[in-house]
Amino acid sequence: MSDAQKTDAQQSFLDLLHAQRVWDVELPAFAPDTAPSAPLPLFHTWFAEAVAAGQAEPHTMSLATVDAEGHPDVRTLMLHDADERGWHFATHRTSAKGRQLATHPYAALGFYWPVQGRQVRVRGPVTACAPAESLADLHARSTGALASALTGSQSEVLASQGELARTADAAWERASAEPDAEVASWTRYVVEPREVEFFQGDARRRHVRLRYRRDGADWTRELLWP
């Protein structure tokens, strides 16, 4: 590709990028002075409202961790629960994120629900659940989820798509035949919140940001500049 073609391709990308719009919908209002004293009830409310508004896959979230060298890493995965203990997810402890959490057991979560212009951010230490709870988590999910867990080798180098197909087919067969199959590396984790921020977008960029900070057994609420 010539320099001129590269320039044209880059300009085409920029034109496409700059043509995109944010929140071309009516956004809900958020009065932070009416928010509850703790973040969990507000998260439950916002999640239910995201579902009611037709948000696709509202249970997906970004998980940010750091590796042994302190370099950040991020990926998208599913929320498994949000209760008084914290925000729950699961993965193989032998995966990249599992190894990173073993070294640095602290993480950040990010939810984005564009149909309402809302974000929720969670930060805090991460605890691995007991094997029995992790196994129960796995068996509460679908056959496909069990098959995926049985496939294993997450984050390792894959020799070919053919190898994946063969391994995945075998895992599906086992998951169908043995719905109670155990996966020793499958681990449920809980992010215990130290900070939780609720962001409500505004078309005039007067975004509302409400942060909860853990203060002993209580929470401190504070507004942030957008």
- The pTM (predicted TM-score) of the whole model is 0.91
Q: Do 207 and 198 meet the contact criterion of CB atoms below 8 Å apart?
A: no
Task: Say which residues have a Cβ less than 8 Å from residue 191's Cβ, sequence separation at least 6.
Answer: 86, 87, 88, 89, 107, 109, 122, 123, 124, 125, 126
The pLDDT of residue 63 is above 90: yes
- Please, what is the average pLDDT of the chain? 93
Q: Do 111 and 89 meet the contact criterion of CB atoms below 8 Å apart?
A: no
pLDDT tens readout for residues 175-189: 888 888 888 899 999
Dist. CA 97–CA 221, nearest whole Å? 31
Res 138: pLDDT? 87
Distance of CA 156 to the CA centre of its chain: 21
pLDDT over 90, % of the chain: 72
The pLDDT of residue 170 is above 90: no
Neighbours of 174 (CB within 10 A): 15
pLDDT tens readout for residues 92-102: 999 999 999 99
What length does the chain have? 226
